[in-house]
Amino acid sequence: MVRFVEGPVRVSVPATSANLGPGFDSLGLALDLRDRLEAQVLPDGLDVEVQGAGADAVPLDESHLVVKAMRAGFEELGGQPTGLRLSCTNVIPHARGLGSSSAAIVGGLVLARALVVDGDALLGDDALFRVAARLEGHPDNVAPALYGGFVVSGSDDGEFYAVESPVDPQVTAVVFVPPTGVSTELARGLLPATVPHADAAADAGRTALLVAALAGRPDQLWRGTRDYLHQDYRRAAMPESLALVDRLRAEGVAAVVSGAGPTVLAFCGWPEAASADALLAHAPEGWAAHHLTVDHDGAGLA
């Protein structure tokens, strides 16, 4: 019979940026911008409190994404608690392409595991990752949210996998966050069913180069982040974002749409790259801009 710990548990989980240009649905990077969650088993009922990003929009009942993830985690761990209290302090913006839903899913699963006695032994990281990927539907954001760093992920015949890959310690990023979001469903709906073979081949080459560039050749990030498969098709949904990408890339900056957008991510940090301060000055009026390091810790107890 499953046993629950007494008192509250606290976890934090990082933002993530998927695709990074050519690595569509396969590459993801954790960034040091963290949501913080606290939960406790109660005798009965459900009490959900949200502060920060999304506080005025997310539900405060069983349909809250963190609660749904916790329920899925408890099922894997052997049983549901009699009641729950959940408090979320969110800083990852919603519907901006920075992995807010993946942070909620991974955070909820890690919370559930932490609330169960011997939860780590019952649900290890790899098993938890597979549950998270099933809930999200694809692994490119949940993988770095859980493991941290830079992760290559995908699925074979319905079986999800994730492989961590090195990141040059010099590499950081500036993210430009617009005031309004774009839903992932809308962004995906703009993609064609097929693409020219030449574009697919070019994208495969740039993806391989991007992995090498992040690992130790940041001077190749501008070339390695060139995308042929998805960004231009999404221009109608986020014209200001793609215009910013175009301007930055014209100046030699390795800039991409973050995930499904509309946030723009630009790599910096190595000596030949534009400085973070210079990049921050490119933020369009009304946009937020943040200089972020790569998060290597992933989700865990806070």
Say if 2 falls within a structural domain.
no
Does residue 101 lie within any of the structural domains? yes
- Domain boundaries, position 242: 172-293
The DSSP-derived string for 202-215 is HHHHHHHHHHHHHH
103 has binding-site annotation: yes
| Residue 1 pLDDT greater than 90, yes or no | no
- Ligand-binding annotation for 128, yes or no, is no
Domain CATH number, residue 100: 3.30.230.10
Sequence-ordered list of residues with C-beta below 8 angstroms from that of 212, at least 6 positions apart, any chain:
220, 224
129 vs 150: CA distance, rounded Å: 15
**pLDDT tens for residues 187-213?**
888 999 999 999 999 999 999 999 999
Task: Answer yes or no: do 255 and 147 share one domain.
Answer: no
296 marked ligand binding residue = no
Contacts of 269 (CB under 8 A, 6+ apart): 170, 171, 172, 173, 218, 276
Cα–Cα distance between 105 and 127 in angstroms, integer? 14
**Same domain, yes or no: 13 and 160:** yes
CA distances from 274 to 246, 249, 255, 288 (A): 16, 11, 11, 19
What average pLDDT does range 277-289 have in this prediction? 97
The proportion of the chain whose per-residue pLDDT surpasses 70, expressed as a percent, equals 100
- Averaged pLDDT, 35-52: 98
Mean pLDDT calculated for residue range 52-75: 97
Place of tokens 């074979």: 156
Answer whether residue 156 is part of any domain: yes
- 1: in domain: no
- Averaged pLDDT score across all residues of the chain: 97
Q: Is residue 127 part of a domain?
A: yes
135 and 192 inside one domain? no
State the pLDDT confidence band at 266, using cuts at 50, 70 and 90: very high
240 in a structural domain: yes
Query: Is 98 one of the annotated binding-site residues?
Result: yes
According to the model, what pLDDT value does residue 84 have? Answer: 98
The CATH number of residue 254's host domain is: 3.30.70.890
Q: Is 112 part of any domain?
A: yes
- Residue 43 assigned to a binding site: no
- Quote the number of domains for the chain: 2
pLDDT in tens, 126-162: 999 999 999 999 999 999 999 999 999 999 988 999 9
Q: Say whether 93 counts as a known binding-site residue.
A: yes
- Whether residues 159 and 194 share a domain: the answer is no
181 is known to lie in a ligand binding site: no
Q: Is 291 annotated as a binding residue?
A: no
158 and 183 fall within a common domain: no
Q: Which residue shows structure tokens 């801009």?
A: 289
154 & 272 share domain:
no
Residues 107 and 240 grouped into a single domain: no
Whether residue 101 is annotated as binding a ligand: the answer is: yes
Residues 144 and 204 occupy one common structural domain: no
CA dist list (Å): 79 to 69, 83, 110, 112, 194: 14, 12, 15, 11, 44
The confidence score (pLDDT) of residue 183 equals: 86
Q: Do 12 and 111 contact (CB within 8 A), yes or no?
A: no
Contact 84, 70 (CB under 8 A): yes
94 marked among binding-site residues: yes
Residues 160 and 207 grouped into a single domain: no
204 is in an annotated binding site: no
pLDDT tens, residue by residue, 87-122:
999 999 999 999 999 999 999 999 999 999 999 999
Say yes or no: 68 and 187 in one domain. no
Residue 256 lies in a domain: yes
Q: How confident is the model at residue 185 (pLDDT cuts 50, 70, 90)?
A: confident
